[in-house]
Amino acid sequence: MSQTTVTAASAAEVAAELRARRAFVMVSHVKPDGDTLGAGLALGIALKRLGKRVHYFQQDPVPRNLRFLPDAECVAGELPADLPDDALFVFCDMSDAARAGERLPAITRDNMLDIDHHLGNAMFGRLNFVLPSECSTGTVVMHLMRELGVEIDARIATCLLTTIMTDTGGFMHSNTTPAVLELSAELMRCGADKEAITEQIFLNKRVAATRLLAKIVDVMQFAHDNRYCYSYVDDTMLAQTGADGEDTEDTVNVLRGQEGVEVAALFKAYDGEIRVSLRSNGSVNVQAAAHRLGGGGHFRAAGLTFAGSLSDAIAAVDAALVAQGL
């Protein structure tokens, strides 16, 4: 491969790289969501159709609500032993490579392709195809599909519509532009199974999840003239309800949706770490607040992992949000 340089790549350059390589590992981030996984699966299916060898690496298991995705059964938590040295690792939907998790072996930058839509992407690949104006990494991938001339079949369309519906919150967030709706219509015409996406990702909640939501709502707090709402979930609450981390996915949106609330935080204090989900109505840049504490994301949706106690996490996040104008 060519020498190591960091560039913002064009779709044509990335497509040329994809055509040149024979083997691929599509990589999704820890605590995967429908965007990181759907984007990788869509591009992986397309590359297989071009005759390429494709693997999927994801440190965490596929969440229950994403197991319906085409090829989800091919996702593995380790790399195949016979992977060629020039296999291209395609990182989808992550602002830095560490988001792939510590179980992914170190990879030379020459073999890293970074496909993303986050603000403040670290441009960690040799090629970086990062379009922050796109609503999802899946729609970033659509640019590559067009460049590659791959026809979008029903399986690819379902994966791509999943990325859009995940990252627009079912067409509710402000990133739902007319163009996004047009792309979604195009994907439905290609056979995307919108019914399955709605049912599996947005409905179909476990009773344990709803009981956990009740506990989280029970301990929610309001601050800053009720413009800020935050709550937490810990190991005890999970044990009491029989829920697990996957069941907390939507909860921060419930907090953000309370009357008058502009910013919400959910502190996920279980499994020996504290991860924080932040959401904003657009008045406060939560990506900038998360970035102060080592995390990242988007203007209205961001996250971070905090080293310390729950009360320290709550205080640190409060200070970071205030510094961003809360």
Binding site for Mn ion (CB under 5 A): 35, 93, 137, 167
53, two tokens: 């060898």
If the CB atoms of residues 277 and 324 are measured against ligand 5GP, the closer one turns out to be 277
If the CB atoms of residues 100 and 301 are measured against ligand 5GP, the closer one turns out to be 301
The C-alpha atoms of residue 256 and residue 262 are separated, in whole angstroms, by 7
- The pattern of x and - marking residues 78 through 97 that bind ligand 5GP according to CB under 6 A reads -----------------xx-
Picked from ligand 5GP, Mn ion, none, the partner binding residue 281 (CB below 5 to 8 A depending on kind) is none
What is the dihedral angle through the alpha carbons of 66, 67, 73, 79, rounded to the nearest 10 degrees?
Answer: 40
Picked from Mn ion, ligand 5GP, none, the partner binding residue 95 (CB below 5 to 8 A depending on kind) is ligand 5GP
If the CB atoms of residues 138 and 303 are measured against ligand 5GP, the closer one turns out to be 303
According to the binding rule CB under 6 A, does residue 159 interact with ligand 5GP?
A: no
- Decide: residue 153, CB within 10 A, 0-12 exposed, 13-18 middle, 19+ buried: middle
Region class of 39: left (phi > 0), else alpha (psi between -120 and 50), else beta:
alpha
If the CB atoms of residues 197 and 304 are measured against ligand 5GP, the closer one turns out to be 304
Picked from Mn ion, ligand 5GP, none, the partner binding residue 256 (CB below 5 to 8 A depending on kind) is none
The C-alpha atoms of residue 238 and residue 165 are separated, in whole angstroms, by 27
Contact 155, 71 (CB under 8 A): yes
According to the binding rule CB under 6 A, does residue 166 interact with ligand 5GP?
A: no
If the CB atoms of residues 35 and 262 are measured against Mn ion, the closer one turns out to be 35
Site for ligand 5GP in 91-130 (CB under 6 A): 95-96, 99
Contacts of 82 (CB under 8 A, 6+ apart): none
74, two tokens: 């091919």
- The pattern of x and - marking residues 284 through 313 that bind ligand 5GP according to CB under 6 A reads -----------xxxx--xxxxx--------
In the complex, residue closest to ligand 5GP by CB: 303
The C-alpha atoms of residue 281 and residue 299 are separated, in whole angstroms, by 9
According to the binding rule CB under 6 A, does residue 253 interact with ligand 5GP?
A: no
320, two tokens: 């970071």
Q: Which residues pair with 128 in a beta bridge?
A: 8, 114
C-alpha closest to that of 200 among 166, 164, 167, 241: 166
According to the binding rule CB under 6 A, does residue 32 interact with ligand 5GP?
A: no
**Contacting residues toward ligand 5GP, per CB under 6 A:** 95-96, 99, 277, 295-298, 301-305
